[in-house]
Structure 1
Amino acid sequence: MHPIVIGHRGASGYRPEHTRAAYELAVALGADAVEPDIVATRDGVLIVRHENELSGTTDVSDHPEFAGRRTTKVIDGIRLTGWFTEDFTWAELRTLRARERLPELRKSSATFDDRFPLLRLRDVFKLIDRVAGRARRSIGVVAEIKHASYFESIGLPLDELFAAEVNAAGWNAGDGRLTIESFEQSLLDKVYARGIYGNRIFLLEARGKPFDEVALLGAKAPHYADFLTDQGLYALSGKVDGISVPKSLILETDADGHVSGASDLVDAAHAAGLEIYCWTLRPENRFLAKTFRRGRFRADFGDWQSEFRTIMGTGIDGVFTDHPDLAVTVRDELAAAG
């Protein structure tokens, strides 16, 4: 069965992300779990969006009644201009419709623009309960809680809001269906302290520093790379259940960006008693490592099979993918080959 296949924001290679259609299709295409990104509204409702900035994935800019909400903010040290979930009530956001985030790359998905409303986290839990019953198999939710330090600074504690939602939805049964992930380890600690016992996965970037550590320690904050050493991995053991990393940390590349195989990070994480996942498996040339690109156009599918096979053959515990059916195909081929 390993690795598990996680529909990244649903089947976001085929439908606008975080929509009912994207989640339903992910399950239909064989995903073992789906991944909603979680942010909050002004009135404390948790919704699923890639970011709290809305203009890249909704029609908010077409709503004249919201023109005055456009603003500039600094989120986790990055200056952004747009419309932000925390400046709207849920009653206002439910009037918006979802759009494809990468319309030039995924033109077929963009044909579904403006058809689907935004979803709350509670809607995702209900949807997965329903489609899992129809599929007659267990489907997990890998909940990524975004920008927790920022939201707490404006009076929206995501750990508290998330715990309430999970309990209300009946998803705190300890049945293995729930996983919580964040780029902020302190958020995972807070969720655990509130009695939510899903697997805790610490997201790590290839460079930079966790924002909660920067907010606490400033220049003395550890880099993500510090957590990826043998010592760092062993220090995480017992504090989290696993880590999730970009695929660039799984692929071994030379100075020219060509892939020569897989790194030893999966083995190192397992040796430290940690699960390990990676993101994001995508078939388009734009996202593939140089070795696996084919043809001239970024939207064309390259040799995705070889890249997926290199990553999934490491013994990794799970992969995030925009196209669940493609990852399931490679996993099944690897299993058949023993």
Structure 2
Amino acid sequence: MKSWGCALLLSLAVAPSVAMSAESSTPAAHKVSVYGHRGASALLPEHTLAAYAQAIADGADYIEPDLVMTRDGVMVARHENEISGTTDVASHPEFASRRTSKVIDGQKVDGWFTEDFTLAELKTLYARERLPELRSTAYDGQFRIASLDEILAFLVQQAGRANRGIGLVPEIKHPTYFQSIGLPMEDKLLAALRGNAYTNVGPVTIQSFETANLRYLHGKIGRGSNIRLLQLLWKGDTQPADIAKAGGKLTYAQMMTPAGLKDIASYADSIGPELRSIIPLDAKGALGTPTTLVQDAHAVGLMVIPYTFRPENHFQASNLRKGADNARNAEGSVAEMRAYLATGIDAFFTDDPALGRQAVDGMGAAGNAAN
């Protein structure tokens, strides 16, 4: 992580009118926030401006762009750097020779990778639905890949139209891998956020499944910042990629113990556990007895923001399902969210923010992004 130790020299020019709008829209009282997971990704191809716009229209308090890098050092919104599952790259003969195999976070992956394309080349591709067996493909081939700069400009526009605070919750994907190939994102992301009049003062939370980059960002951000940090957590005995690469022994299970949570609280503001870490499923696949994770995290001052609620039966607990495995089940999704709300969570990620809004306050009107 040595390259992350370089000095950060930023020129901060904030437009007062936008800054005041972002600050004044922040509520004083705590309210559970709805995070649009990759936008309204249950309805439109994920990580497109259209999906983010739908999420905001449906009441999301935050929108989430996952960030990866291009060959020319531009951050773009994709859930992973291998893009064959979410774009039409395989149908472009001019890029056939770019197909390759790489080892990403210890796993061999075959396909086309963002770091092998310039932004201009990626802009020739169209987004497509990741889960065609579950979700509509009607919007395939209509939307382009969005860069972070485009998303920030879009966010300013949308916040003005909605007349409310809309938060940004970017995830830095594969940070150790991208640093290893000379494309680190941390300083570039901070510069982009601080260089934007809205995100320089508005609600922002940076998330990662790794630990070293969040510790680095904690040191760079300092006290009193509008930027918060979210430590994402995966299942059981799996490890953060940076820990595994360094030969460490720390697991996500250990990070979710009281001692592990106390350590996370030294550099992050919140944790993002997988849903079943809070309410496991029983032997029949139904919602079981909640763990103490929420209480343990709150005891050391951490907010709890689990992921991801989805509206299809396929992803829901067995006691909430209605109809076929691939059927949309809005009622079951809302019921599942409310079961988790009862555990005291502070916010949550959902592919369908309209249902998240319904679960939180029973109507379609949006609240404000918590800062």
Output the TM-score relative to the length of structure 2: 0.85
Q: Separation in 2 of the partners of 1:333 and 1:30?
A: 12
CA contact (8 A) 1:279 1:320 kept: yes
**Given the alignment of the two structures, is residue 160 of structure 1 paired with residue 190 of structure 2, yes or no?**
no
User: Which aligned segments of 4 or more residues in structure 1 are displaced greater than 6 angstroms?
Assistant: none
Q: Separation in 1 of the partners of 2:314 and 2:78?
A: 23
Which sits farther off after the overlay, 158-167 or 7-16? Answer: 158-167
Q: Separation in 2 of the partners of 1:165 and 1:211?
A: 25
Matches within 5 A, 1:212-231: 212-216=242-246, 218=247, 220-231=248-259
Matches within 5 A, 1:215-294: 215-216=245-246, 218=247, 220-294=248-322
Partner of 1:52: 81
CA drift of 1:261 comes to 4.2
5+ residue gaps in structure 1?
none
CA contact (8 A) 2:240 2:251 kept: yes
What's the C-alpha RMSD, in Å, of the aligned pairs? 1.6
Q: Matched residue of 2:63: which SS? A: strand
Q: Matched residue of 1:55: which SS? A: coil
Q: Separation in 2 of the partners of 1:3 and 1:252?
A: 21
Q: Which amino acid is the alignment partner of residue 326 of structure 1? A: L
CA contact (8 A) 1:142 1:180 kept: yes
Q: Separation in 2 of the partners of 1:190 and 1:239?
A: 9
Greater strand content: 1
Partner of 2:239: 209
Deviations 1:42-101 (A, max 9, x none): 110000001100100011111110000000111001111100000001111111111111
Q: Separation in 2 of the partners of 1:172 and 1:127?
A: 12
Q: Matched residue of 2:307: which SS? A: strand
Deviations 1:115-147 (A, max 9, x none): 111100111111111011000000000010000
Q: Which amino acid is the alignment partner of residue 274 of structure 1? A: L
5+ residue gaps in structure 2?
1-29, 364-371
Matches within 5 A, 1:29-108: 29-107=58-136
Partner of 2:209: 183
Q: Separation in 1 of the partners of 2:73 and 2:87?
A: 20
CA drift of 1:171 comes to 4.9
CA contact (8 A) 1:39 1:145 kept: yes
Q: Separation in 1 of the partners of 2:333 and 2:220?
A: 41
CA drift of 1:172 comes to 5.2
Q: Which amino acid is the alignment partner of residue 275 of structure 1? A: M
Question: How many pairs align?
Answer: 329
Q: Separation in 2 of the partners of 1:121 and 1:317?
A: 26
Matches within 5 A, 1:21-32: 21-32=50-61
Which sits farther off after the overlay, 303-312 or 42-51? Answer: 303-312
Partner of 1:145: 172
Q: Matched residue of 2:234: which SS? A: coil
